[in-house]
Amino acid sequence: MAKILVVEDEPSLRKLLQYQLSKIGHEIRVAGDGEQALALVKSERPDLVLLDVMLPVMGGFQVLRKLQEDKNTKSILVIMLSAKGQQHDIAAGLNQGVFDYITKPFNIPNLSARIDKALASIG
């Protein structure tokens, strides 16, 4: 399957995502903050990043901008995960170039389907 980087500061959700996505066959790496995420993107070259909006050290949108500014990482797909579910929050995420924006709480089958859709877009 795919190599996915899960960037989530909430340890229990990070572990749940790691377990559930590994169980369906994905190779999962995890990061708890934005700086760690950027380092792992450079060393691991994931196919997809699940990126929380609110992170310590460096927020999700700042991480997204850094990924988009780097020619080596700008093609990596990003799905934002956020508790911010207002229409303007979702629009802001989509307007900044993320593939998808998923609001918390979410269910694993729905997340998995959206990951599959994102990965299908890159072949």
CATH classification at residue 25: 3.40.50.2300
pLDDT value at residue 53: 94
Which tokens go with 30? 């995890």
- From the first residue on, what is the mean pLDDT of each consecutive set of 10 residues in the chain (123 residues)? 97 98 98 98 98 95 96 97 84 90 94 97 85
Which tokens go with 15? 């572990």
pLDDT value at residue 103: 93
Closest C-alpha to 61, from 103, 89, 85, 86: 89
Tell me how far apart the alpha carbons of residues 114 and 55 are, in angstroms, rounded to a whole number. Answer: 22
Tell me how far apart the alpha carbons of residues 33 and 44 are, in angstroms, rounded to a whole number. Answer: 16
pLDDT value at residue 89: 79
Number of domains composing the chain: 1
pLDDT value at residue 83: 87
Q: Give the domain range for residue 14.
A: 3-120
Q: What is the dihedral of CA 109, 18, 30, 114, to 10 degrees?
A: -10
Which tokens go with 22? 């590994």
pLDDT value at residue 25: 96
Which stretches within the chain are classed as H helix? 11-23, 34-44, 60-69, 87-95, 108-120
Tell me how far apart the alpha carbons of residues 61 and 59 are, in angstroms, rounded to a whole number. Answer: 6
